[in-house]
Amino acid sequence: MLYFEDIEVGREASFGHYEVTREEVIEFATKYDPQPFHLDDEAAAQTYFGRLSASGWHSCAMMMRMMADNMKDNDQAGLGSPGLDELRWLKPVYPGDVLRCESEIIDKTPSRSRPEMGSFRSNVKLINQDDVVVMTFVSIGLISRRPDGEQPA
């Protein structure tokens, strides 16, 4: 189990594999971001995107799936997140793209009001199959401190 004490500033990770499908782009946009360039090929062709593209919020959801899978695979004592900072959609995400994540821990802070936990911040990148960074943000994670007496793995 990974606890606050195990978090190392500067640690980098690369994880995830997500294939973006046309059907999912349209389904997400229909429910949550029904703008023409997320729904219709002809309308999208007339925009900056040039073709059907995923909603930025869909890109966030795809990244969250990869992050959640990574946390599950790596058995962390995570407690959720109070949010994120500096979200940027840098390039469009298109059907057919294959996405992955990279992160680097930039700081960690023990909680002053809740000694059983701490937080850490990470620079996170969403990257496509051509190694183009399509989205970035700073993630804020909450994590449990190691219980008294428990030894590191």
CB 152 within 8 A of CB 146: yes
pLDDT digits (tens, 9 = 90+) for 15-40: 999 999 999 999 999 999 999 999 99
Model confidence at 73, pLDDT cuts 50, 70, 90, reads confident
pLDDT at residue 153 tops 70: no
CA distance linking residue 30 with residue 13, whole number of Å: 33
Structure-token pair, residue 48: 């900056």
What is the DSSP pairing of strand 98-110 with strand 117-127?
antiparallel
Structural domains of the chain sorted by starting position, each given as residue range(s) with its CATH number in brackets: 4-144 (3.10.129.10)
CA distance linking residue 37 with residue 92, whole number of Å: 11
pLDDT for 72: 84
CA distance linking residue 91 with residue 75, whole number of Å: 32
pTM for this prediction: 0.90
pLDDT at residue 150 tops 90: no
